[in-house]
Amino acid sequence: MKPQEVLIFHNILWSHYTGVVFGHLSAELCKHNGSIFVVHVADSMESRKGIGEVDKRYHQYPYRVLFPGSIEQAGKWQQLLAGIKILTASKATDVMVFGYDLPIYVLAILLSPLLGKRLHIVADATAYDRARQAWKEKLKALLLRRAATVICYGQAHRQYLMSLGVPAAKIAIRLQATDNAQVRYLYQQYLQAQANADPTVQRSFVFIGRLIEEKNLFALLQAFEQLNSNWVLKIVGSGVQEPLLKAFCKTHAIQNVQFMGALALAEAVTVLAASDVLVLPSVSETWGLVVNEAMLCEKPVIVSHHCGCALELVQHGQNGYIIDPNNVADLAAAMQKFVSGEADLKAMGAASLAIVKDFTPEKAASQIFAAISEN
């Protein structure tokens, strides 16, 4: 059998967690005399500003960045022209694309089978992802039909793909992982630094993410307001809703809310480590890698059932709670369990670590390799 040479189209180099997976996939293919080459469309995107620059240490595999700078500046026609040149010149046996939302992705999906290359599509959407339009759903179904394999992150994603007509036999699940080793290292550093410090008695919830409509942060503030406790709510991130959220707190006299701005990974892990419970109440979230990170920091989690990670990472009542993001009372009730002491922070944190410890980049890479090697 001819060794696999896999050409991957991915959006941005900034994604360090994906970079780690690519590194392990490259090593796995090398063991079988294969290889990968990754084409990143751009360095980063506007929403990643303020949370760290590209760190090339995470990218230990062959790659190229088509358009230095922000992906928003990468023109559609430039993407198409670059994609045609790359695909027609490549001797790859397999092509993998991370979605169908960029022109270069659609081009690769249409052109790869015509060039005799096996096509693999990574699809991260769920039924809750965003409002659906019938014509777009039909177009997705047509594009997905061209793939030898469709790779997704979990059960919610699989169910959505099957609703689009993708046969179950074509769907492979690869777990979604952050850089576990780095997060655990940063967490252990925090613990060592705090070993001789005076113990804090101030309990806190924490949210980490972009301050945008999909994150459902007004519901989070409303739920927090109902607690009437001395707990703190830390909000880490930046985005268009930041001034509106601050104004909402002022108008409703909501106390103990700390807006901490956008933080790079090391700072964000420190905040997680110093907090008690992560809350991710999103109405749309393809996965939610911050949940992985919180669980690696041995924290309980409150997660919306619209988040792609909910079915895989949250065992309701064991390491946290799954809530309805459209029901503020449901969210407040889950938060109240921690405020009242009904939920055991330490036991739930230990359960979180036990659940997430196998969600590693190495395992993700091996699952991708198995999926593309079987077809």
> Residue 49 pLDDT more than 80?
no
The predicted pLDDT at position 10 comes to 98
pLDDT band at 71 (very low <50, low <70, confident <90, very high): very high
Q: Dump pLDDT digits (tens) for 168-216.
A: 999 999 999 999 999 999 999 999 998 877 766 689 999 999 999 999 9
Alpha carbon 1 to its chain's center: 35
Q: Dump pLDDT digits (tens) for 262-316.
A: 998 899 999 999 999 999 999 999 999 999 999 999 999 999 999 999 999 999 9
The predicted pLDDT at position 202 comes to 87
The predicted pLDDT at position 200 comes to 67
The predicted pLDDT at position 347 comes to 98
The predicted pLDDT at position 217 comes to 98
> Residue 65 pLDDT more than 90?
yes
> Residue 1 pLDDT more than 80?
no
The predicted pLDDT at position 165 comes to 96
> Residue 365 pLDDT more than 60?
yes
Q: Dump pLDDT digits (tens) for 316-361.
A: 999 999 999 999 999 999 999 999 999 999 999 999 999 999 999 9
Say which CATH topology domain 5-177+360-373 has: Rossmann fold (3.40.50)
The predicted pLDDT at position 227 comes to 96
The predicted pLDDT at position 129 comes to 77
Euclidean distance between CA atoms 260 and 41, whole angstroms: 31
Percent of the chain having pLDDT more than 90?
89
Euclidean distance between CA atoms 230 and 321, whole angstroms: 21
Two tokens at 346?
Answer: 């330490």
The predicted pLDDT at position 263 comes to 92
> Residue 46 pLDDT more than 90?
no
What pTM did the predictor assign? 0.93
- Strand spans (E) along 160-312: 171-173, 204-208, 232-236, 257-261, 277-280, 301-304
pLDDT band at 375 (very low <50, low <70, confident <90, very high): low
> Residue 25 pLDDT more than 70?
yes
Euclidean distance between CA atoms 274 and 269, whole angstroms: 9
Residues 271, 296 contacting (CB under 8 angstroms): no
CATH superfamily to which 180-356 belongs? Glycogen Phosphorylase B; (3.40.50.2000)
Mean of all residue pLDDT scores within the chain:
94
Q: Please, where are the H alpha helices in 32-149?
A: 76-89, 103-111, 134-145
- Pinpoint the residues of the chain covered by CATH 3.40.50.2000: 5-177+360-373, 180-356
The predicted pLDDT at position 279 comes to 98
Q: Which residues contact 143 (CB under 8 A, 6 or more apart)?
A: 100, 106, 109, 110, 121
The predicted pLDDT at position 40 comes to 97
Euclidean distance between CA atoms 320 and 351, whole angstroms: 9
Q: Is 165 left (phi over 0), alpha (psi -120 to 50) or beta?
A: left
Q: Dump pLDDT digits (tens) for 89-120.
A: 999 999 999 999 999 999 999 999 999 999 99
The predicted pLDDT at position 130 comes to 73
The predicted pLDDT at position 132 comes to 79
- Strand spans (E) along the chain: 5-12, 35-44, 63-70, 94-97, 118-122, 149-152, 171-173, 204-208, 232-236, 257-261, 277-280, 301-304, 320-323
